[in-house]
């Protein structure tokens, strides 16, 4: 090891207490530390944050980190403060701060104490913030959840579109690192173009989750009983059941409760206190099952979720991958069971009908992929990975036999049947 490598390992140990880098982290960090534009595609849980946190801590100046979620920013800031001498090492700059707090943040940055400054994109657009950041030493810009820049991503945020322009105004030669867990080639291309970093060193980790078992079943009017049976067969294990609507979440949670299953509902229509309580009950294992809309999951890190059931098929393969990805984080068993009826696709199409035409077209294309996935008789894993631009060989690849189509090959005509409720 040369000195630089020793230093990186020493910093990793000093700041984060880890003795080894995970996956591609070290190469990513070297790229960023050397001042190159850098692009990172790693699945959720891959360890993306450290790819910019460590360089931020060791480089001169303040790193600006753009992130869409205030709750996630706060978590990261708290974690970094916990291992540092000075609370000022990391700050969040957003609209919730009062004048005194803003003054403190700016003072810490000016004095070179602050190594990481987290901002929401809408705060970064504010002229006074741009003016201030122009006047200080910025080590690099990190754009986390960079797929928010793309209309082809699952979480498009128009404010992300302006980022390139603003970054240019803050400084001309600031290195940029973009990070995302969305691996579709289209979204990647959008990110590189929109951030104007087509020259970036790109690091892409595999999206294969060998321990997850993928299964799609036809959805009939007996779907509730099918779910109850599945949950009872997995008694005592933690699981998440996703439904499309809040109403269905409430109903299904009740049906499960009546059947003696410890379940709670979770959706954005519940007040914050109830949501917090239900989430904690799940994390503390007072209940086994959360029945939820997609409002549940972002930032929740329960390592031993043993199954994820989709009562309704999601609106894209990315969503499916993200949501099923919450199972088996610890590397143990993770059963992903989706119920599919074409009628649900029509419902999803109908939901989009009020949206702008461009958005509808994208939504339609994404849904067609979901249909292809659900109705396909090929390996689920191969399909998903191919969607993410990755070739997978079931004979040699990890987890090659971990899906219904590989284990129980269907005859062609069966594969095309789908039961409409």
R_g of the chain computed on alpha carbons: 23
* Nearer Cβ to ligand ADP (48/209): 48
- Contact (CB, 8 A) for 190 and 143: no
* Shortest reach from residue 50's CB to Mg ion, in Å: 10
Q: Among candidates 368, 392, 389, which has minimal Cα distance to 380?
A: 392
Task: Indicate the helix (H) or strand (E) that contains 13.
Answer: none
* Nearer Cβ to ligand ADP (45/171): 45
Distance CA 208, CA 216 (A): 18
* Shortest reach from residue 26's CB to ligand ADP, in Å: 9
Q: How many residues are given for the chain?
A: 421
Q: What, of Mg ion, ligand ADP, none, does residue 46 touch, CB below 5 to 8 Å by kind?
A: ligand ADP
* Nearer Cβ to ligand ADP (17/395): 17
Candidates 31, 37, 38, 49; binder of ligand ADP (CB under 6 A) is: 49
Candidates 41, 47, 154, 191; binder of ligand ADP (CB under 6 A) is: 47
**HSE of 210, CA atoms in CB hemisphere, 13 A:** 11
Percent of residues in the chain assigned helix, strand, coil, to nearest 5: 45, 15, 40
Which two structure tokens, joined as six digits, stand for 37?
């534009």
* Nearer Cβ to ligand ADP (22/161): 22
Which two structure tokens, joined as six digits, stand for 261?
């299953």
- Contact (CB, 8 A) for 366 and 345: no
Q: Among candidates 60, 68, 177, which has minimal Cα distance to 115?
A: 60
Task: Determine the interface stretch with ligand ADP among 45-53, 339-347, 388-396, 409-417 (rule: CB under 6 A).
Answer: 45-53
* Nearer Cβ to Mg ion (48/154): 48
Candidates 24, 33, 41, 50; binder of ligand ADP (CB under 6 A) is: 50
* Nearer Cβ to ligand ADP (49/194): 49
* Nearer Cβ to ligand ADP (146/366): 146
Q: Count the residues of the shown chain that bind Mg ion, applying the rule CB under 5 A.
A: 1
Q: What, of ligand ADP, Mg ion, none, does residue 22 touch, CB below 5 to 8 Å by kind?
A: ligand ADP
Does 77 bind ligand ADP (CB under 6 A)? Our answer is no
Cα dihedral: 365, 371, 373, 377 (round 10) = -140
Q: Which residues in the 5-24 window bind ligand ADP by CB under 6 A?
A: 18, 20-22
Interface pattern 34-63 for Mg ion (x via CB under 5 A): --------------x---------------
* Nearer Cβ to ligand ADP (31/129): 31
Distance CA 180, CA 142 (A): 11
95 burial (CB, 10 Å; 0-12 / 13-18 / 19+) is exposed
Distance CA 274, CA 280 (A): 10
* Shortest reach from residue 179's CB to Mg ion, in Å: 7
Q: Which residues in the 25-44 window bind ligand ADP by CB under 6 A?
A: 25, 42, 44
Residue ranges binding ligand ADP (CB under 6 A): 18, 20-22, 25, 42, 44-50
Residues that bind Mg ion (CB under 5 A): 48
């Amino acid at each position: 090891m040369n000195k630089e490598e020793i230093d990186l390992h020493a910093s990793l140990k000093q700041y984060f207490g880890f003795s080894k880098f995970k996956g591609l982290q070290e190469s990513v960090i070297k790229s960023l530390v050397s001042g190159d534009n850098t692009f990172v595609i790693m699945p959720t849980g891959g360890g993306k944050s450290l790819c910019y946190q460590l360089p931020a801590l060791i480089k001169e100046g303040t790193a600006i980190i753009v992130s869409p979620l205030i709750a996630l920013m706060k978590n990261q800031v708290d974690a970094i403060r916990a291992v540092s001498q000075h609370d000022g090492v990391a700050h969040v700059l957003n609209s919730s701060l009062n004048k005194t707090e803003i003054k403190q943040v700016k003072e810490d940055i000016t004095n070179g104490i602050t190594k990481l400054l987290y901002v929401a994109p809408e705060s970064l657009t504010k002229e006074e913030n741009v003016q201030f950041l122009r006047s200080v030493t910025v080590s690099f810009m990190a754009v986390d959840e960079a797929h928010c820049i793309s209309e082809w991503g699952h979480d498009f945020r128009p404010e992300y579109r302006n980022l390139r322009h603003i970054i240019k105004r803050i400084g001309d030669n600031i290195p940029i690192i973009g990070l995302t867990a969305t691996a579709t080639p289209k979204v990647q291309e959008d990110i590189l173009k929109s951030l104007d970093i087509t020259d970036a060193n790109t690091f892409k980790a595999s999206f294969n989750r060998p321990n997850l078992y993928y299964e799609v079943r036809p959805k009939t009017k007996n779907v509730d009983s099918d779910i109850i049976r599945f949950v009872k067969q997995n008694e005592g294990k933690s699981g998440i059941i996703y439904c499309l609507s809040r109403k269905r979440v409430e109903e299904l949670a009740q049906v499960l409760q009546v059947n003696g299953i410890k379940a709670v509902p979770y959706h954005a229509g519940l007040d914050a206190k109830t949501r917090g309580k239900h989430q904690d009950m799940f994390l503390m294992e007072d209940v086994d099952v959360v029945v939820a809309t997609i409002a549940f999951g972002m930032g929740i890190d329960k390592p031993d979720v043993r199954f994820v059931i989709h009562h309704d098929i999601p609106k894209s393969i990315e969503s499916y991958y993200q949501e099923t990805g919450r199972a088996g984080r610890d590397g143990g068993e993770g059963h992903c069971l989706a119920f599919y009826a074409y009628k649900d696709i029509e419902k999803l199409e109908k939901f989009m009908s009020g949206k702008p035409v461009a958005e509808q077209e994208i939504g339609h294309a994404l849904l067609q992929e979901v249909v292809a996935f659900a109705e396909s008789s090929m390996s689920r894993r191969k399909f998903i990975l191919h969607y993410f631009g990755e070739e997978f060989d079931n004979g040699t690849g990890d987890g090659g036999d971990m899906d219904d189509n590989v284990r129980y090959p269907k005859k062609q005509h069966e594969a095309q049947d789908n039961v409409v409720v």
